[in-house]
Chains A and B, each alone.
Chain A
């Protein structure tokens, strides 16, 4: 069964600090992995997308890494801001199941002033 697990479940950091969120997956055959940011009560917004051959991708202060051998990904947030407070969801697609995504449960990040 395809699964995506994220850690930690929740994280509290001070403004300006860096943090790293983790994602492990067992989706097979792997197609791509996305990180989404979801503000409370809003729809998810795509941050990065990585395919099998990519092992790092940046979007501003967000940098995602992918190790397809160990089936792990991380999302690193640099110089956090109060607006980074949100749920960060790791989403994996299986090849041949383009429209059906496997969602992780998300990491709830709180950035305090």
Chain B
């Protein structure tokens, strides 16, 4: 199984709603990522979890709250979003292997994304 799955595929929410995006992988990967991608732009890294611990938070507003319940699951909780938060949200995972005490650069496998629209 070399797949990263994301649900839902599409989400429309108002600025006062609370919703969650979900991501799952069964490749035994120990690093999981959230990216935000606006139209015709490259993905922007939001968060990285390594071994279920938050290792990178790229100064993301607190209205985005990540959670990693176990090594296969990654959630992104959304609350009080703004219309400019509308984007494709991508989840990715990688092996997160180490080589002589340094993290090895493993291929990141991306999910299909959740298209989020904030009204």
Contacts and interface: CB of A to CB of B under 8 A. Distances in A.
B4 A43 contact: yes
B50 A103 contact: no
Contact of B112 (A32, A43, A49, A93): A43
Chain B contact residues: helix, strand, loop or mixed: strand
Given A44-B43, A99-B31, A93 B105 contact: yes
B48 interface: yes
A56 B104 CA distance: 21
B34 interface: no
A3 to B, nearest CB: 11
Contact of B108 (A31, A42, A101): A101
Contacts of A100: 45, 48, 56
B111 A104 contact: no
Nearest to B103: A98
A9 B42 CA distance: 12
Interface size bucket, A side?
20 to 34
Interface string B67-108: 000000000000000000000101110101000001111111
Interface string A6-31: 00000000000000000000000001
Interface string B4-21: 101000000000000000
A44 B115 CA distance: 14
Contact of A31 (B56, B105, B107): B105
A98 B90 CA distance: 18
B42 A105 contact: yes
A36 B92 CA distance: 13
11 contacts: A32-B105, A42-B112, A43-B4, A43-B90, A43-B110, A43-B111, A95-B102, A95-B105, A99-B94, A99-B96, A100-B45
Interface of B: 4, 6, 31, 33, 40-43, 45, 48, 50, 55-56, 88, 90-92, 94, 96, 102-113, 115
10 smallest CB-CB distances across A and B, nearest first, come from A43-B110, A103-B42, A98-B103, A93-B105, A98-B105, A31-B105, A44-B110, A99-B48, A43-B112, A43-B113
